[in-house]
Amino acid sequence: MKIVVLMGSPNKNGSTNILVEQFVAGAKAAKHSVEVLDVCHMNIHPCTGCVRCGYEGPCVQKDDMYTIRQSLLNSDMVVFATPLYYYGMSAQLKTVIDRFCFFNSSLNTRHLKSALLTVAWNADDWTFDALMAHYKTLVRYINFEDQGQVLGYGCGTVSMTRRSSYPQAAYDLGRNL
């Protein structure tokens, strides 16, 4: 299976990256191919809502979304990886998702598998409620087939994350696909 990870953390050495590394190791151990796209360090502009794309491109903006589009349309699975920022995904990952607009129909008919990897400092039972509602809506709208989530409660620092069970959970998610 071809997997694309949309890495939505601007911190290249943070807790989200730990989960991504472990997921990738697990997926590769299961003989899947994995491409990680660091969306926070790509040239991606917000959707302007002009709808000149007609929801199936081309987009008037010429940026790295064309790379993301090509990768997603040639894959079998997408993994959304993000730290929790004010109870939602990072702005950089949200910008990418908003730009799905210009290949909405193509993406919708792919029926990709999907997963979510996320971490938060907070460990309250409601910590991921808003993010999970958004993710589940996205899965439903785009006809993704959810393969699971790793919700890293109490992962405020790299050392907290490394000591937790979440890196192993991310590995297992990738390995068991």
Residue 81 forms beta bridges with which residues?
7, 117
**Three-state secondary-structure class, residue 44:** coil
**Three-state secondary-structure class, residue 108:** helix
Q: What is the pLDDT of residue 57?
A: 83
Q: What residues have CB less than 8 Å from 84, skipping those under 6 apart?
A: 118, 119, 120, 121, 122, 127, 128, 131
CA 171 – CA 177 distance, rounded (Å): 10
Secondary structure E strands in 10-137: 33-38, 77-83, 113-119
* pLDDT tens-place string over residues 153-169: 999 999 999 999 999 99
At residue 116, does pLDDT exceed 90?
yes
Domain range summary for the chain, segments of one domain joined by + = 2-175
3-state secondary structure 114-157: EEEEEECCCCCCCCCHHHHHHHHHHHHHHCCEEEEEEEECCCCC
Q: Can you give the pTM of this predicted structure?
A: 0.97
The third-level CATH classification (topology) of the domain covering 2-175 is Rossmann fold (3.40.50)
Mean pLDDT, the chain, rounded, equals: 97
Q: What is the pLDDT of residue 34?
A: 98
Between 173 and 55, name the one with better pLDDT.
173
Q: Which two tokens mark 51?
A: 């709808």
Which whole number is the average pLDDT over 9-20? 96
* pLDDT tens-place string over residues 122-146: 999 999 999 999 999 999 999 999 9
* pLDDT tens-place string over residues 57-96: 899 999 999 999 999 999 999 999 999 999 999 999 999 9
